[in-house]
Amino acid sequence: MTYYVGIDLGGTNIKAGIVDEKGTLLNKDSIKTMAERPMEEIITDMGKLALKVIEDAGLTPDQIDSIGIGSPGTPDNEAGVLVYSNNLPFNMAPMRKIIRSVVDLPVYIDNDANCAGMAEAVAGAAKGTKNSVTITLGTGVGAGVIINGRIYSGFNQAGSEFGHHVLVSGGVQCSCGRKGCFEQYGSASALIRMTKEAAEAHPESKLNDVIAELGKVNAKVAFMAMRLGDEVAAQVVDTYTDYLADGLANAINTFMPEVLVIGGGVCNEGDPLLIPLQEKTMSRPYFGPGVKKTRIELAQMGNDAGIVGAAMMAKSCSDDNMQG
């Protein structure tokens, strides 16, 4: 059996674990990122955490094939550098060099949304397929595109920013500068915005009672009130799934993946989200007669997607004899 270290770098926590060649997570650990520190300190700690999970698994570094890092932002995997990251103090961060000074193994870097896609493709909802797209609905909308079993991240490794395709021309202002990006209609943040707007417009609704009880608006509130029979909340969910289905149908027409995986906290709603979403989405794409159709599935890898995906990304780079 061959083993890999996967490191999931986030703004709050750094997680790492040992993953075998089939995508099974053997053990994991995490430390605080403390993102206000100099990047050299953070990266050194990533190396130390890798070493710790290797030892905790009862292994030695020479039993590990390589280390994969999933990070926000844009990597340069050839140079072993994180070019930049929106939320972290990384600017041309020499990750490979620093980590190799702590634990001298090949180091590969890719974007976290891409790694999530890789995890689903190897061991999750798209297991056994060569072509899949994983869309993660969170604060934003992330996309991990897998083509022929490899992460596709464009000529510049900037990855598919599918969340930033305009779906509603002239629509809601997006952080990227454009108006009407899919992210502004399909993310958890978008659902929260729609929930707030509906609650304000309908002060008499049960939706407001749920919000008052909870003391806040989150992405669950509309589903909670809908289950209590609230029409206003049902309308919010209907509008949200309508836009979401439009964006997902766009993803299908664009990539024609065997499986389209949707992940992120919103997906914990399960069938009340998935069933209408599948119906709405699959009525829209452009499949000709006799043409095989994409399946839509919920993500299965949960919180381990980042670690497992980073490790499996490292495996694919190692299998392709890339410089690490």
Q: Which parts of this chain interact with its own copies (CB under 8 A)? A: 73-74, 83-84, 86, 91-92, 129-131, 147-148, 152-156, 158-162, 164-169, 171, 176-178, 180, 185, 243, 246, 249-250, 253-258, 284-294
Q: Please state the closest distance from residue 313 (CB atom) to its own copies, in A.
A: 16
Considering beta carbons, is residue 171 or 272 the nearer one to its own copies? 171
Q: How are beta strands 3-9 and 13-20 bridged, if at all?
A: antiparallel
Sorted by sequence, the CB contacts under 8 Å of residue 71 that are 6+ apart come out as 9, 82, 85, 88, 90, 95, 109, 110, 111, 112
Considering beta carbons, is residue 28 or 165 the nearer one to its own copies? 165
Q: Please state the closest distance from residue 59 (CB atom) to its own copies, in A.
A: 34
> Encoding tokens for residue 95?
């990750």
What separation in angstroms does the CA of 221 have from each of 137, 239, 244? Answer: 16, 15, 17
Letter string b/e over residues 109-144, b meaning 16 or more CB atoms within 10 A of that residue's CB: bbbbbbbbbbbbbbbbbbeebebbbbbbbbebbbbb
Q: Please state the closest distance from residue 92 (CB atom) to its own copies, in A.
A: 7
CB 252 within 8 A of CB 246: no
Letter string b/e over residues 307-317, b meaning 16 or more CB atoms within 10 A of that residue's CB: bbbbbbbbbbb
Considering beta carbons, is residue 64 or 141 the nearer one to its own copies? 141
Q: Please state the closest distance from residue 147 (CB atom) to its own copies, in A.
A: 6
Considering beta carbons, is residue 82 or 119 the nearer one to its own copies? 82
Q: Please state the closest distance from residue 142 (CB atom) to its own copies, in A.
A: 12
